[in-house]
Amino acid sequence: MANYQELANLVWNVADDVLRGLFKPHEYGDITLPFLVLRRLDCILDEGERKEKAISTYDQYNDKVAEELLPPIILREIKTSFYNTSPYDLSRLKADPNNIYLNFQNYLNGFSQDVRDIIENFNLDRFIERLHNNNRLFIFCDKFTEVDLHPNKVDNHTMGQVFEELLRRFSEMSNETSGEHYTPRDVVRLLVSLLFAEHREDLSGQGVIRSIFDPCCGTGGMLTIGKEYFREQINPDADIRLLGQELNAQTYATCKSDMLITGEDPDNIRHGSSLSNDQFQGERFDYMITNPPFGVSWKSDAAAVKTEAQNANGRFSAGTPRTSDGSLLFLQHMLSKMEDRGSRVGIVFNGAPLFTGDAGGGESEIRRWIIEKDWLECIIALPEFIFFNTGIPTFLWILNNNKLEQRKGSVQLINAVDFWEPMDRGLGEKRRQIGNRHAHQLIELYTNFEESEHSKIYPNDFFGYTKVTVERPLIDEETGEVLRDRRGNPKPDTTLRDYERVSLTEDIDDYDRREIKPHLPDSWIDRKKDKVGYEINFNQYFYENTSLRSRQEIADEMLALERKSEGLLNEVWGL
């Protein structure tokens, strides 16, 4: 079998040779990846004379059966999941260079509907015309025929590696936008490792069938790496179904292409917004993993989301966050698809979902719902400058509705901000990476489930608090007496109203006697206004107080530096 790196280099060189000067580097992938798919499909159809059988079957039944009945007849005859009834492929196009543009269109239109769907979403037409007008369409087709992608030379696994390698390179060339659809592979591998780190004993042997779902699947990296890890590290014989949904048309096409050329079911990749147009209604999955967009508005989905939020059984019934950031909506969407027997969820967040929103607000209510359900298992703080398009702090959340016995009723926090190594060459904001050594250390911290310098374990109610309303009496300015209502209760002075947060682990009356009454003896807490909230002040739990140095230490150090500088000057002047 061919080496995937050599094949990737070959395709990379084709792109660089033909596209340089005509296209911007960040456009290379938009053109090359679709051609890679076309070449692979040609090579599959070339085996066993499938191409000729598809054409002859089409000619035989085209005028005899209804249009919708023709595709299954052709597919049954050639025993593949796609076909092409055009007389052309990339090799045959070379026979008529003068009509390359028209024939190329005929070639594309000859594919079955699922392939045409991919091509249309790639928006390839805008590039084909430019290639043709600059006399490079023929040479691009010609160069790709030199890349042998026949299945007897390149199996599905290697083909997936080639696709992933090129996708990585092209994404890194376009690092100003790559972070929108491409998660760094070191982060994906760590998240996948965490997702599969426990319950391994249930995943061995024959007949294991599991599903992996990503509602913001982008180009599909989390899905493919998830399956690869499962097969290599857990059970090589398992049947793993990959499913995903993606809003962006071009990345949807990229992901669906990857599934098609590696033998996966491309129909399991769906197009549209997961929030307002759930393409997997009623379905449940074993593992779910995603990197939703950070701080992106969900106004365009607002009508559908709010309607569902009003339904007690709706995906978003726990609460809705502010419209400027829909991250927690994607998490709720995933949690609604957990299997009763247990599902594990891994998601990438920035810091906002940890603490934004006050008690009673949407974000706090979502956190409360998750933690009180005992679904939040672990949160890992990642190093800064680990993503392409942001240097801000990021976190991995692991959730599970079937926790191991020792994890029940608690949440583990892991501080991994120092678990990184520098990259040889930065890519956008990404200047650091999580190497194998640090990844193994983090998996060990997670699976050991013990308190340490980098690992803290807290009961669920540790993150909850009651927001209490502290009232003070309204005083008559003339008499100085407390004003009372008809029942004789003191009226509150709203200008002096204050609020306190009391941990759920503490008695509110005890807190009042200890913290409030000594300072405000005439105050009272209006318990009818209590609101329960949840937040996770991650950095606070790992803060280490460092004692200040004494004046004498500082003075001694300054004196030593002064003496050292005098000595250096003496050496310079030869004194």
| Chain segment 434-491, per-residue pLDDT in tens | 999 999 999 999 999 999 999 999 999 999 999 999 999 999 999 999 999 999 999 9
Written as one letter, the residue type at 31 is I
On whether both 258 and 322 belong to a single domain, the answer is: yes
Mean pLDDT, residues 74-88 taken together = 94
Mean per-residue pLDDT, 117-121:
93
Q: What distance in Å separates the CA atoms of residue 494 and residue 501, rounded to the nearest whole number?
A: 18
What is the rounded distance in angstroms from the CA atom of residue 261 to the CA atom of residue 159? 7
Domain containing residue 468 = 464-539
State the Cα torsion 526-531-536-539 to the nearest 10°.
-30
Q: Would you say residue 166 lies in a domain?
A: no
Residues 371 and 235 in one domain: yes
In this structure, the answer to whether residues 126 and 265 fall within a common structural domain is no
Residue whose C-alpha is closest to residue 212's, from 243, 189, 184: 243
Let me know if residue 163 belongs to a domain.
no
Which range, of 187-191, 259-263, 308-312, averages the lowest pLDDT?
A: 259-263
Arithmetic mean of pLDDT, 504-518:
96
Question: What is the percent of the chain where pLDDT is above 70?
Answer: 93
Confidence of residue 547 (pLDDT cuts 50, 70, 90): low
Do 457 and 518 share a domain, yes or no? Answer: no
The residues that bridge with 470 in the sheet, in sequence order, are: 498, 525
Write the CA distances from 121 to 34, 250, 257, 302, 527, integer angstroms: 10, 5, 11, 25, 57
In terms of domains, do 283 and 238 share one? yes
Q: Which helix (H) or strand (E) holds 308?
A: helix 302-309
Confidence class for position 176, pLDDT limits 50, 70, 90: very low
Determine the average pLDDT of the residues in 236-241. 93
Residue 130 has pLDDT above 90, yes or no: yes
pLDDT at 105: 96
574 band by pLDDT with thresholds 50, 70 and 90: low
pLDDT tens digits, one per residue of 327-379: 999 999 999 999 999 999 999 999 999 999 999 999 999 999 999 999 999 99
Do the domain assignments include residue 458? yes
pLDDT of residue 551: 64
Whether residues 419 and 433 share a domain: the answer is yes
Residue 492 and residue 368 share a domain:
no
pLDDT tens digit string along 98-112? 999 999 999 999 999
Report the domain count for the chain.
4
365/389 same-domain check: yes
**Shared domain check, 98 and 215:** no
Between 380 and 159, where is the model more confident? 380
Of 575 and 402, which is predicted with more confidence? 402
Assigned token pair, 459 = 């009961």
Q: Are 155 and 1 in contact (CB under 8 A)?
A: yes
Is the pLDDT score of 545 beyond 60?
Answer: no
**Measured distance CA(510)–CA(514) in Å, rounded:** 6
- Mean pLDDT across the chain: 91
Highest mean pLDDT, choosing among 145-149, 217-221, 373-377? 373-377
